[in-house]
Structure 1
């Protein structure tokens, strides 16, 4: 407590140090705190130098100045907030059961609650978990996985089981998968926190975030926190790309890492973007290409625009396109349109919406970035590959394509077809076998991604499941039967929970959602939707550059916003997808009589004439500003 008080004293009583801000507090760095950081070599890690904000400027790639009152909130390394207070035991250790005993081991929880089954979703396809993972990178970060797979890989070594950095998932001797293998441990690490980086003396562990706070395609325009200068070609407003096998890809580079590429033939590896899971790599390629498609279309209607004009306008449109797809298509697929309208996430109208509230601070919740792990239940470990005509080619192990972007250079069309032609996993309370046992081939002998989710739930200090039910629904859960009485679970799922946990307050958030019914009109449980919407509303209202607002800097005109409303995943596939000539109008749903394949010519696309600058129609006139 003394250290915490001293740290706060630094912030409140010392002289401000200009434009240098403290990442953790979001406040200007005092001279005393700066001395502390410099003495301990922490200045580069714990502070950010922010240029003075201009109320009329465009969105910054580092997330700064999104709120003019709190310029450092929303930046790349800004901390995550919590919906509910942290719940730890003995300072920063995972919480205990109500009885005071240890909670059941994560692997045991997963084995009892989720069976291994090959299952196909009746409604949704691979784009749902795939696009969800891509969105996660925009507001979350992969540092936990990177740490576990690349740096702290030794947690199952007998000499390191109890290291502070390690929280391994232990495997019992009678494990149904590994009992004859001798494998008794799965590597897992403690989340990295601002305390680990010594950027705060606050005693409650605060996991780090390496992404901007707004839904601003930071995984494209500020990937890895490098900014956009390293990404641009500085020609025609486009991002830098390279051609291989007649297709365009993000550039290779000497520091790029694709450990699962098969040498010497697989050489494609992104220098400045994340090349992790195959779906993330695909959407990264498509949105880079989409930016350049937009820039080229803008250049056609505005031949007098220079590179900067084209780039900034293309970026603005690309971000708006992405948000239109995420909020109006993807969220509708998982939550249902009526619930989103009722909660103010989307609008029935096609016009502008006044959303910005400068009292709202741009902050992502830990609960939101965590609950997106629920979509592991929809993740397939089998990729069904098709040719451009929809003929089945072969089945491919999805995880064999992880951290292996080189595989895509010669197989883009078949992987592209698999995203919209094949259903995702069933979403029926089962899990794919590979995901639950061998999720990261090439890195670890055995990884249960779902048991890892239970482990992270506890390591993050997330409260029990029943606390979220009380917070969002106002319902008190005092017995296991109350889950059924509240309409949240079936009797079968309640019995499963009772076989794992001794008390309803012991139930982990993620485990509770595994057992919960889907919400009315949607394909996910209600608490998952509420956690998502809590963050979504905050993100929209705290973003002064939100694309639907008409009073933001360089706001879309009514005519331009009408064109943005045409944004669909289907149009993304038709403009950037390799070999895509036909697709469903709603590309998150399976092919069906109500959602048939149609030629790309019938898919609505943005008409960029809405951005035509009148100045460009005059001979020898150089444009001086963007169309507002």
Structure 2
């Protein structure tokens, strides 16, 4: 950006909301940076005057769209159109990876890697290459789809490609829903909120009509722009890999952004998986690792973007209400002045907020939400818990195809839903990464006495005999 543009708003493009960097910034001043690029979210087309509204590109539902895409064009581009399978590339060692994105104009691809026939990856979500562990998770679920499709063909040899694909896709979507609500959400909210809100999956063969037609599953701006970004503060400063002998190596987190080529190395998938499940996430708080606070997407440069600044600016771009306004809408204790934050946040954090913001009502939702003490047994504070709970409840009751439904038009058979409820993330990871041999029972939590490492042979595959026709 031209320096003159900072002082003259008329020189700025209307879709640019660049972030000014103080001349004495402790990090960026070393590189003479006074401006951080920021492009506004695309506005939704509308014919009425009023506040700008942004578009959601992805589907709201937990439907496996990260595996299959959001429309038929993308989905079909990921299919082999044979035996219900997704396209995969096989390495020389016989390892199954996501399909390659051979477009050399793609910002992720690099000429040196392309010369070795190594390209960035394609998946149902175009952000797949943003960081290597995201590639890993996409790989797990794409492999799982193909494993399911192959097993369904063995059980129902008369099924055609479309039948195999759609049923495998249907099962994957159901398992994603189950893992999300059974394994991912409880540590975020704590058992009390999970129990009171009835978020936990039903038991055995039970089915229920959760669907409420007038409840929208649409993603709220507060959820997408602030609350669900809580995990950004948990990002570790390094990424670990564990080899077959248990030896650990690590690399700086900033080196894995838009740089997924390590996945092509022999044994990288199991090594990255072992490293990922053994690392503990950081606390949810206003403190970020320097690997994303100044070095995000830095590539070969000495500096990059600051994730916290981007999140704050995105909240302002989307026009979401302040921290105190959202806290009030959640029927939490009212905040009228900075001293009212005492007991809600650490005192040293309150002092910093008072120094930065002119009034307590100016505190950005993202900042205030991160600063709160966590709810009992959970990792987020009460304001973020309120926003997250609202969204995950609506994702369930606003989905006519929710896997536990008893709707005769969309339901699974009783024995099928019982099998789906046996799904564990550990079981799926063991199924598609046979080199693992062992993993803790709940991979989203670190191993402990309560969460022991067990043999992969202890996890049973989905019994697909209940899908035999």
Does the pair score TM above 0.5?
Answer: yes
Deviation (angstroms), 1:223: 5.0
Larger CA deviation: 273-282 vs 592-601: 273-282
Q: d(CA) in 2 for partners of 1:183 and 1:266?
A: 36
Q: d(CA) in 2 for partners of 1:434 and 1:224?
A: 35
State the match for 1:207 in structure 2: 54
Corresponding residue pairs, total: 452
Gaps of 5+ in 2: none
Q: d(CA) in 1 for partners of 2:283 and 2:435?
A: 27
Q: TM-score under structure 1 normalisation?
A: 0.68
Deviation (angstroms), 1:365: 1.0
Deviation (angstroms), 1:289: 0.7
Distance 1:605 1:525, change over 3 A: farther
Distance 1:202 1:290, change over 3 A: farther
State the match for 1:296 in structure 2: 150
CA-to-partner distance for each residue in 1:90-137, whole Å, 9 max, x for gaps?
xxxxxxxxxxxxxxxxxxxxxxxxxxxxxxxxxxxxxxxxxxxxxxxx
Q: d(CA) in 1 for partners of 2:185 and 2:449?
A: 22
Q: Is residue 546–residue 552 contact of structure 1 (8 Å, CA) maintained in 2?
A: no
Q: d(CA) in 2 for partners of 1:482 and 1:568?
A: 43
State the match for 2:312 in structure 1: 454
Q: TM-score under structure 2 normalisation?
A: 0.90
Q: d(CA) in 2 for partners of 1:465 and 1:592?
A: 36
Q: Is residue 378–residue 425 contact of structure 1 (8 Å, CA) maintained in 2?
A: yes
Deviation (angstroms), 1:399: 2.8
1:352 aligns with 2:207: yes
Q: Is residue 258–residue 269 contact of structure 1 (8 Å, CA) maintained in 2?
A: no
1:265 aligns with 2:121: no
Give the structure, 1 or 2, with the largest relative contact order (CA under 8 Å, sep 6 or more): 1
Q: Is residue 454–residue 510 contact of structure 1 (8 Å, CA) maintained in 2?
A: yes
1:419 aligns with 2:276: yes
1:231 aligns with 2:78: yes
Deviation (angstroms), 1:406: 2.7
Alignment of 1:487-498 (within 5 A): 487-498=343-354
For residue 437 of structure 1, give the secondary structure of its aligned residue in structure 2: strand
Gaps of 5+ in 1: 1-155, 614-628
Counting helix residues as a fraction of each chain, which structure ranks higher? 2
For residue 270 of structure 2, give the secondary structure of its aligned residue in structure 1: helix
Deviation (angstroms), 1:544: 0.9
For residue 121 of structure 2, give the secondary structure of its aligned residue in structure 1: coil
CA-to-partner distance for each residue in 1:333-359, whole Å, 9 max, x for gaps?
211233122113224544212211122
For the aligned residue pairs, the C-alpha RMSD in angstroms reads: 2.2
Distance 1:426 1:464, change over 3 A: closer
Q: Is residue 83–residue 160 contact of structure 2 (8 Å, CA) maintained in 1?
A: yes
State the match for 1:255 in structure 2: 103
CA-to-partner distance for each residue in 1:62-97, whole Å, 9 max, x for gaps?
xxxxxxxxxxxxxxxxxxxxxxxxxxxxxxxxxxxx
State the match for 2:36 in structure 1: 186
For residue 424 of structure 1, give the secondary structure of its aligned residue in structure 2: coil
For residue 351 of structure 2, give the secondary structure of its aligned residue in structure 1: helix
1:281 aligns with 2:131: no
Q: d(CA) in 1 for partners of 2:196 and 2:376?
A: 13
CA-to-partner distance for each residue in 1:309-367, whole Å, 9 max, x for gaps?
21111111000111111111101121123312211322454421221112223422111
1:168 aligns with 2:15: no
Deviation (angstroms), 1:465: 0.4
CA-to-partner distance for each residue in 1:500-534, whole Å, 9 max, x for gaps?
22211011101101210011110111211211121
State the match for 1:368 in structure 2: 223
For residue 218 of structure 2, give the secondary structure of its aligned residue in structure 1: coil
Q: d(CA) in 2 for partners of 1:297 and 1:159?
A: 63
Q: Is residue 237–residue 253 contact of structure 2 (8 Å, CA) maintained in 1?
A: yes
State the match for 2:292 in structure 1: 435
Runs ≥4 in structure 1, deviation > 4 angstroms? none
State the match for 1:580 in structure 2: 436
State the match for 1:132 in structure 2: none
Say which one has the larger Rg.
1
1:332 aligns with 2:186: yes
Q: d(CA) in 2 for partners of 1:199 and 1:207?
A: 11
Deviation (angstroms), 1:218: 1.2
Q: Is residue 326–residue 383 contact of structure 2 (8 Å, CA) maintained in 1?
A: yes
CA-to-partner distance for each residue in 1:113-165, whole Å, 9 max, x for gaps?
xxxxxxxxxxxxxxxxxxxxxxxxxxxxxxxxxxxxxxxxxxx3325544122
